[in-house]
Amino acid sequence: MTASNNPLHGVTLEAMLIELHAHFGWEGLAERIDIRCFKSEPSIKSSLTFLRRTPWAREKVEALFVRMRNGRA
């Protein structure tokens, strides 16, 4: 996949998380993706730490971000 076709190209994980949080809020994120960093004392910093160390969770966040950007979330 080339960079121009990749919807995540140039978007940092932090930028994704900030945009998702603004759109859904922590409760909305926790409903859509069942991970504790969105449920128990959520913050951007703690969520970034978890997502950077947990590939399966990061993939789910990236997929939700793409769906949100495409208007399907």
53-62 pLDDT per residue, tens: 999 999 999 9
Domain contains 4: no
Task: Give mean pLDDT, residues 3-25.
Answer: 90
Please report, in angstroms and rounded to a whole number, the separation of the first and last CA atoms in the chain: 23
Domain count for the chain: 1
Rg of the chain over CA atoms, in angstroms? 12
Rounded Cα distance between 71 and 73, Å, is 6
Model pTM score: 0.87
Domain contains 38: yes
- Whichever domain contains 32, its CATH number is 1.10.720.30
Per the structure, the complete domain to which residue 21 belongs is given by 17-69
